[in-house]
A and B are shown apart, each in its own frame.
Chain A
Amino acid sequence: MAERGLHVTCSEVVELVTEYLERALPAEEATRFEEHLNFCDGCIVYVEQIRATVGTVGRLHEDDVPPHAKEQLMAAFRDWRRSP
């Protein structure tokens, strides 16, 4: 937070953005964060960039199971199923 505790600057916004989006900012800080966003087009745009980044990352997919690994695992399952 700024020295006087009154304001959030843009350089602080870019560090607080994740906490804000996670709703982990304390109420008072969240209000200051939003007050700042209310007048600062630069930070509104930055927060949107972070949202867009999350959205784009979300379009990636974890790796698929390699076929040989899958075979091994199915065999292991059959073994497990058979054991007492």
Chain B
Amino acid sequence: MIAYKFLRADGGSVFTGFAWPLPPAGPGAWVEAPLDPCRSGIHACRPGDLPYWAGRVLYEIELDGEVREEPRKVLATRGRLVRRVSAWDELRDAYTRMCADRAHELVAAADPAFAHWDSVVEPSLPEGPALLGFVAARIAEEIEGRAAAYEAERARQAEWLTERLGLGAQL
């Protein structure tokens, strides 16, 4: 199964720091990791999951072995990085800006009681796409007063990304 994985700038895993074999030309080496009850194994995103895990660098990853789909991620016992999705490097700032603009838009259209939710938006920009994605979705949720609004905003973000990144798989 083809999925996606965000890594740190140095190619390390965000949470474990694991140094992934990177594909300079052709796919990187296979990495094996058992899936135990503590949900380790290899973590990856489907296109719909991208906004939740937005990070510095994006790779396409091929998953193999035992593959387990969860609500916001995919786990597998085997994976290898196939190629870097360099379109993300160019898109990252535009995505961040899009989320910021959405946040402003949502607050502007809402009851003035929500005005103070706007104040974090611009100051959050330097922290990047993951934070702004959350900010926009959280504002949507707060204004509408329900969880479904958060998920809907996230889905919009995923769609925006999938379209522009030219990712093959469906949401």
Contact = CB atoms under 8 A, between A and B. Distances in A.
24 contacts: A4-B147, A5-B147, A6-B141, A6-B147, A6-B150, A7-B138, A23-B38, A27-B39, A27-B70, A28-B71, A30-B39, A31-B70, A31-B72, A31-B73, A35-B53, A37-B15, A38-B14, A38-B52, A38-B55, A39-B130, A39-B131, A39-B133, A41-B127, A41-B131
Contacts of A6: 141, 147, 150
Nearest to B39: A27
A35 B52 contact: yes
* Residue from A23, A28, A38 having most chain B Cβ neighbours under 10 A: A38
Nearest to A2: B147
Interface in A3-49: 4-7, 23, 27-28, 30-31, 34-35, 37-41
Interface residues of A, number: 16
Interface residues of B, number: 21
Interface of A: 4-7, 23, 27-28, 30-31, 34-35, 37-41
Interface of B: 14-15, 38-39, 52-55, 70-73, 127, 130-131, 133-134, 138, 141, 147, 150
Given A7-B138, A31-B70, 13 more contacts: A4-B141, A6-B147, A6-B150, A23-B38, A27-B70, A30-B39, A31-B39, A31-B72, A35-B72, A38-B14, A38-B53, A38-B54, A41-B127
